[in-house]
Amino acid sequence: MNLDHFFSGDWTFIKKISTPDLIIEGKAAFKIDDQGQKVFKEEGMSYECYQHYFYQIQENSFSILKFDHSVLHEFELKDHSFPMILQHTHLCGQDSYDCKFTIFDEKRFDIFYDIKGPKKNYTIITIYQKED
């Protein structure tokens, strides 16, 4: 699977947040910026929200970087068959963001977060579908 090709173009998404109970529909896109970096932007249409990440892609791995270019997640592909299930935990202070990134096929991926901490206990699942 060509990750650079997969992480390109326009996508739609549905994001389900457990607390507060919220469903957000929106648009997302992978674009190349002026510095040649792959940028992922997500914008809610049914509820105002916005995400902005950088994706660094290698042949068998990829990293998701926050806007300040610090690493949020790193994933390594060991098997290129569908579904590809990738996992990583990001620690932020006393909070943990357990991420399960699943690539189902050439046109769909999901990101599931289980967020825990002294003042946090919720889940987020986002389902992305590539537009034709």
Domain of 61, CATH number, reads 2.40.128.20
* Through-space distance between the first and last CA atoms of the chain, rounded to whole angstroms: 18
Q: What is the pLDDT of residue 97?
A: 97
Q: What is the pLDDT of residue 64?
A: 97
Q: What is the pLDDT of residue 120?
A: 96
Q: What is the amino acid identity at position 85?
A: I
* Residue 126 belongs to domain spanning: 3-130
Q: What is the pLDDT of residue 131?
A: 97
Q: What is the pLDDT of residue 2?
A: 87
Residue ranges for the chain with pLDDT beneath 50: none
Q: CB of 28 within 8 A of CB of 12?
A: yes
**Number of domain units in the chain:** 1
Residues belonging to the chain: 132
Q: What is the pLDDT of residue 51?
A: 93
**DSSP collapsed to 3 states, the chain:** CCHHHHCCEEEEEEEEECCCCEEEEEEEEEEECCCCCEEEEEEECCCCCEEEEEEEECCCEEEEECCCCCEEEEEECCCCCCCEEEEEEEEECCEEEEEEEEEEECCEEEEEEEEEECCEEEEEEEEEEECC
Do you find a cis peptide bond into 118, omega within 30 degrees of 0? Answer: no
Q: What is the pLDDT of residue 71?
A: 95
Q: What is the pLDDT of residue 68?
A: 94
